[in-house]
Amino acid sequence: MLHTADWHLGRSFHKVGIDDVQRAGLQEILDLIERKNVDVLVVSGDIFDRAIPSAAAVANYNWMIGELVARGVPAIMSSGNHDSAERLGVARAATALGGIHLYTAPDQVTEPVRFDMAGTDAPLYIYAVPYLDPRAYATLLGTEMSHQALLEKVSADIAEDLAQRRQHEPGAQAVCLAHVFAQGAVTTESERSIAVGGIESVSADVFAPFIYTALGHLHRPQIVAGEQHIRYSGSLTKFSFSEVHNNNQVVLVDFHATENGSVAVEKIWTEPLSAQLPLAVLSGSFSELTEQTLVDQYAEHFVQLTLVDDDPPTDAYRQLTGLYRNVLDFRRQRLTPREAVNRTYQDQLAEVTTDEEICQIFYTHVTGRDYDEQTRASFNDALETVRAQLQNH
């Protein structure tokens, strides 16, 4: 089984379209499916980035589904908080005939996909829980308005369904997909909060019935509650500079028939996803950032640039964006602590005598920007106006 999630097809990175990168990521997944003889693909929500996805996003999705059907690889996909469940679930009865099982409604949670295992009569059932917004589903399912209450209810329903199946298939085991925020997991800057009433997380206890839980929602790959078999695959690609060090990956899970006629996880491992925008997070003084070796390395990368310098050249931004062609996020930081700067400000004020000089020092201190000719002209106009008014009194 190959576990992935959070494709977010159609997303952009600081307004840079990444449809081509996403297509390459999907191709990598197809290559892995072939190389590793994967029997089933599971995608735990956020297939699309938006409820109404772009045409390019739908084209990528359509292409992927076509490839999976052509290769005869079944897939189980659930809707996430970014997906429109209704739109993702369109014609799901028909796609299921081609082996593409879309889980987008709560009444589907007790309709797992059954897989037969070599060497045992016991099947493996794959259940999938679509993202359930408590505001939409708590009343419908008769629970408190929280993710925890909803997941407890759904997990109990699944456990009951599995218990019934075990009456005829005593060794049956189950995997579950869910799109939730598991307690203790680590976020990045690119997930949309699903907090309701201030609480967005669910405890890992709700996944107790499953031999593997394939989670989606958080974009950083991670295990949950110290359990190797409860984990986030992480997203297909990086969506924010905070994810620059994420090792984007998919999870592969081998199952085997046990001696007592059941099914168990044999092995869990990960494979990297290398289709990514070339990103770089650079920080330093003006002279450090303009060093030729650094510029040569990152000139064409998509860069978050932080200029840490109290006294950069007046046209630092223009110079730096000339050297680095794709600066997507530019920040400035002071090297000197604020108190020291304040003392300097007082000292500077004490040294000057004219209104023009006071304006210049004030403006530079407050905005941190260069007092250029245009600014000087504006201040001089204002000073002239004030002086004229004072003379008329």
- Min. distance of Cβ 193 from Mn ion in angstroms? 11
- Min. distance of Cβ 208 from Mn ion in angstroms? 25
Distance CA 25, CA 18 (A): 10
Q: Identify which of residues 82 and 101 has a Cβ nearer to Mn ion in the complex.
A: 82
Q: Identify which of residues 239 and 324 has a Cβ nearer to Mn ion in the complex.
A: 239
Name the nearest CA neighbour of 76 among 20, 115, 19.
115
- Applying CB under 5 A, which residues contact Mn ion? 6, 46
- Min. distance of Cβ 191 from Mn ion in angstroms? 6
- Min. distance of Cβ 160 from Mn ion in angstroms? 29
Q: Identify which of residues 6 and 309 has a Cβ nearer to Mn ion in the complex.
A: 6
Q: Identify which of residues 45 and 171 has a Cβ nearer to Mn ion in the complex.
A: 45
Phi-psi sector, 118: left (phi>0), alpha (psi -120 to 50), beta: beta
Q: Identify which of residues 82 and 153 has a Cβ nearer to Mn ion in the complex.
A: 82
Distance CA 317, CA 63 (A): 42
- Min. distance of Cβ 310 from Mn ion in angstroms? 39
Q: Identify which of residues 220 and 301 has a Cβ nearer to Mn ion in the complex.
A: 220
Distance CA 358, CA 61 (A): 60
- Min. distance of Cβ 129 from Mn ion in angstroms? 15
Q: Identify which of residues 101 and 219 has a Cβ nearer to Mn ion in the complex.
A: 219
Q: Which residue has the CB atom at the shortest distance from Mn ion?
A: 46
Name the nearest CA neighbour of 49 among 76, 12, 9.
9
- Min. distance of Cβ 9 from Mn ion in angstroms? 11
- Min. distance of Cβ 356 from Mn ion in angstroms? 54
**Collapsing DSSP states into helix, strand and coil, what is residue 200?**
coil
The amino acid that residue 261 corresponds to is G
DSSP string, 11-60: -EETTEE-HHHHHHHHHHHHHHHHHTT-S-EEEES--BSSSS--HHHHHH
N residues, the chain: 393
- Min. distance of Cβ 47 from Mn ion in angstroms? 10
Distance CA 121, CA 271 (A): 30
Q: Identify which of residues 218 and 307 has a Cβ nearer to Mn ion in the complex.
A: 218
Distance CA 153, CA 366 (A): 55
Q: Identify which of residues 46 and 200 has a Cβ nearer to Mn ion in the complex.
A: 46
The values of phi and psi at residue 366, to 5°, are: -75, -40
Q: Identify which of residues 8 and 301 has a Cβ nearer to Mn ion in the complex.
A: 8
Q: What are 245's two structure tokens?
A: 């060090």
Roughly how many angstroms between the first and final C-alpha of the chain, as a whole number?
85
- Min. distance of Cβ 50 from Mn ion in angstroms? 12
**Strand ranges in the chain using DSSP code E only, listed in sequence order:** 2-4, 12-13, 16-17, 41-44, 75-78, 100-103, 113-116, 123-129, 173-179, 181-182, 201-202, 212-216, 222-224, 227-232, 249-257, 263-272, 279-284, 302-308, 326-333
The amino acid that residue 35 corresponds to is R
Q: What are 11's two structure tokens?
A: 């997303």
The amino acid that residue 14 corresponds to is H
